Amino acid sequence: MNQFQYARPAETAAAIKSLTKEPNGYFLAGGTNLVDMMKMGLVVPDKLVDINRLPLKKIEKTATGVHVGALATNSEVAEHAYIKAQYPLLSLAINAGASPQLRNMATVGGNLMQRTRCPYFFDTAMPCNKRTPGSGCGALEGINRMHALFGASDKCIAVNPSDMNVALAALDATIHVIGAKGPRTIKIGDFHRLPGDHPELDNALQKGE
Amino acid sequence: MSTTKPCTLTDGEDISNGTRRDFLKQTSLLTAIALTPGTVVKAAEDKWDEKFAGVFEKQTLHLEVNGVKHELAVEPRVTLLEVLREHLDLTGTKKGCDRGQCGACTVHVNGIRINSCLSLALTNDGKKITTIEGLAKGEELHPMQEAFINHDGFQCGYCTSGQIMSAVALLKEGHVGSETEIREFMSGNICRCGAYPNIVKAIQEVKGGIV
């Protein structure tokens, strides 16, 4: 794994500031996806901002539903008494994915941010418009029976790997985003982008969010 | 750090007293020095490594591992697994796939089981780590270790420390209602020898003992 700089701020504002000056920087939460991709050389960051100390871990009942912090782990959500009682779909969907150890590490924010991808994205010997824009798509004429039936383009036919995201879409969740320009909300249906001509863009987040 | 007696290449008796690991470390080091090109030696003399270190500095890491407190200096890219094995010589935790898929590297962080290969060491600053070496009380094995022996819950043994760490955590999590549930919540630990039926029996025995 290549060298990178590492910062561990204690406040959300400091974390956002820490990355706005760094074009090739990433937030690190559970690390199950990011560290994996760094080991494979698919992501080579200059800087990681470890956000695990930020106060974003709470799961709270609200007037209209439940608020889940971005740093709540997948296990904490799946095992939460209120979520099991009121949103069993979310609990079951999370427990259908990964392994207990990974669910103990992976966060809800990181799960949402998982890149839409397929095995050809991980295979650096094959072209992939998502990994290297303009290089082509190995899956179009390759082994693709688990790929997208709807919403695909001639640039990319990958599907989002997250079970949790499917449940959140069914439950009509709203995502609360914090960025350099302040907070905003995005409906789950508007968060993940269809590939179109730019499969390298996975979601609706702007720079600095 | 290591208390094992160092071995040399010339004295056969010393090699047999040292560990295989020490032997490999030392012979690799000698080979590396012999093969190092002049440019690298020159770079080392010019202290390039220290200049790089200024940018990618080692950072202080506090860990409590199996009840013992450690203060270490590690690069950000070092994983918890590497710290345990390479810095603290706790080689009971295994590196299998190094991708979070096999579970051989399973340890407990603040009592919760995780894959130490995907966790950067610095993320765990100030936390309590339990590895397979920390389960037994002196000569007295943990009940799960006893049960794995009683039920022959392993063959080659490479996955075993991860299986046992996972099994101990599983009992605490409570997902041991049925064989199906045990198998589902042990699915993060792969055993290529296929000792699964005996692993399940071992977990059921310990579960029975607790109830």
Please spell the DSSP secondary structure of B159-210, one letter per residue: THHHHHHHHHHHHHHT--SSHHHHHHHTTT---TT--HHHHHHHHHHHHHHH
For the ranges A184-193, B28-37, B194-203, the lowest mean pLDDT is seen at: B28-37
A47 and A5, same structural domain? yes
Contact B122 A50 (CB under 8 A): yes
Closest C-alpha to B147, from B210, B211, B204: B204
Residue B126: partners with Cβ closer than 8 Å, 6 or more residues away: B62, B63
Is residue A143 one of the residues assigned to a domain?
Answer: yes
Query: Does A70 lie in the same domain as A102?
Result: yes
Instruction: For residues B197 and B184, give the distance between their C-alpha atoms in angstroms, rounded to a whole number.
Output: 13
* In the predicted structure, residue B14 carries a pLDDT above the cut 60: no
Which pLDDT score is estimated for B42? 65
Percent residues over pLDDT 70 in chain B = 80
The mean per-residue pLDDT over the stretch A26-44 comes to: 96
Asked whether A6 and B122 are in contact (CB, 8 A), the reply is: yes
Alpha carbon distance B8, A14 (integer Å): 52
Q: What is the pTM of this model?
A: 0.87
Task: Name the domain count of chain A.
Answer: 3
pLDDT of residue A171: 97
Q: Is it the case that residue B9 has pLDDT exceeding 60?
A: no
Would you call B66 exposed, middle or buried from its count of C-beta atoms within 10 A (0-12, 13-18, 19+)? middle
Q: Has residue A203 got a pLDDT over 70?
A: yes
Please name the member of A1, A31, A99 whose beta carbon is closest to the beta carbon of B103: A99
Let me know if residue A5 belongs to a domain.
yes
Q: Is B171 on the interface with A (CB under 8 A)?
A: no
Q: What is the mean pLDDT of residues B67-96?
A: 98
Rounded mean pLDDT, A74-94: 98
In this structure, are A69 and A124 located in the same domain? Answer: no
What's the confidence (pLDDT) of residue B45?
64
Confidence of residue B2 (pLDDT cuts 50, 70, 90): very low
If you ran DSSP here, which 8-state letter would residue A146 be given?
T
Residues of A in contact with B100 (CB under 8 A): 32, 36, 99, 101-102
Measured between beta carbons, the chain B residues lying within 8 angstroms of A105 are 114-115, 118-119
pLDDT at B50: 58
Does residue A155 share a domain with residue A177?
yes
Assign residue A19 the CATH number of its domain: 3.30.43.10
Kindly state whether residue A202 falls inside one of the protein's structural domains.
Answer: yes
- d(C-alpha B184, C-alpha A100), whole Å: 9
Average pLDDT over every residue of A132-146: 96
Average pLDDT of chain A to the nearest whole number: 96
Q: Tell me how close the Cα of B118 comes to any Cα of chain A, in angstroms.
A: 6
Pair (A110, A149) in one structural domain: no
Query: How would DSSP label each residue in A24-80?
Result: TEEEESS-TTHHHHHHTTS---SEEEE-TTSS---EEE-SSSEEE-TTSBHHHHHT-
- The mean per-residue pLDDT over the stretch B82-106 comes to 98
CATH superfamily label, B143-210: [2Fe-2S]-binding domain (1.10.150.120)
Examine the domain organization and report whether A18 and A62 are in the same domain. Answer: no
User: Is the confidence at residue B4, as pLDDT, over 70?
Assistant: no
CB-closest option in B55, B56, B112 to A104: B112
| pLDDT, position A208 | 82
Q: Does B64 touch chain A (CB under 8 A)?
A: no
Is A119's Cβ below 8 Å from some Cβ in B? no
- Reference B162, options B206, B109, B118, B116; nearest CA is B116
Q: Are B117 and B106 in contact (CB under 8 A)?
A: no
Nearest-CA residue of chain B relative to A49? B123
Could you tell me if residue A85 is inside a domain?
yes
A138 & A87 share domain: no
Q: Does A89 share its domain with A72?
A: yes
What residues make up the domain containing A179? 117-159+172-209
Chain B residues closer than 8 Å to A2 by CB: 77
Tens digits of residue pLDDT in A155-164: 999 999 999 9
A191 lies in the same domain as A126: yes
Residue B41 is predicted with a pLDDT of 61
With contacts defined as CB-CB under 8 Å, which chain A residues touch B119?
31, 35, 105
pLDDT score, position B43: 63
List of chain A residues whose C-beta atoms are within 8 Å of the C-beta of residue B187: 99-100
> Is-contact A35 B79, C-beta < 8 A?
yes
Q: What is the CA radius of gyration of chain A?
A: 17
Look at residue A42 and tell me if it is in a domain. Answer: yes
User: Is the CB of residue A5 less than 8 Å away from at least one CB of chain B?
Assistant: yes
Last residue of a domain, one of A11, A36, A55: A55
Domain contains A133: yes
Q: Where are the alpha helices (DSSP H) in chain A?
A: 12-20, 34-39, 74-78, 81-86, 88-95, 100-105, 108-112, 119-122, 163-170, 188-191
Q: How many CB pairs under 8 A join A and B?
A: 84
CB of A31 less than 8 A from some CB of B: yes
Q: What is the CATH number of the domain that holds A103?
A: 3.30.465.10
Residue B148 has pLDDT above 60, yes or no: yes
The C-alpha of A200 sits at a distance from chain B's nearest C-alpha, in angstroms, of 23
Which among A36, A39, A102 is the nearest to B188, CB-wise? A102
- Assess if residue A29 is contained within a domain: yes
Q: Is B75 on the interface with A (CB under 8 A)?
A: yes
Q: Is residue A164 part of a domain?
A: no
Q: How far apart are the first and last CA of chain B?
A: 41
> Is residue A61 domain-shared with residue A142, that is, in the same domain?
no
Mean pLDDT of A38-49: 96
Phi/psi at A93 (5° precision): -65, -45
Name the residue ranges covered by the structural domains of chain B: 12-52, 53-134, 143-210
Whether B52 has a pLDDT exceeding 70, the answer reads: no
Q: Do B76 and A99 touch (CB under 8 A)?
A: no
Q: Which residue has the tokens 């962080």?
A: B109
Segment A99-111, tens digit of pLDDT: 999 999 999 999 9
Cross-chain residue pair A31–B98, CB shorter than 8 Å: no
Of residues A2 and B48, more confidently modeled: A2
Q: Does the beta-carbon distance from A36 to B100 stay under 8 Å?
A: yes
- CB-nearest partner of A101 from B52, B75, B113: B113
- CATH architecture of the region B53-134: Roll (3.10)
- CB-based contact A52 B98, cutoff 8 Å: no
**Together in a domain, A20 and A67:** no
Co-location of A45 and A123 in the same domain:
no
Find the farthest-apart pair of alpha carbons in chain A and give their distance in angstroms, rounded: 51
pLDDT reported for residue A68: 98
What pLDDT, on a 0 to 100 scale, did the predictor assign at position A198? 97
- For position B202, what pLDDT does the model report? 97
Question: Strand pairing partners for A184?
Answer: A177
- Beta strands at A182-187 and A174-179: parallel, antiparallel or unpaired: antiparallel
Percent of chain B residues past pLDDT 90, beyond the cut = 71
pLDDT band at residue B16 under the 50/70/90 scheme: low
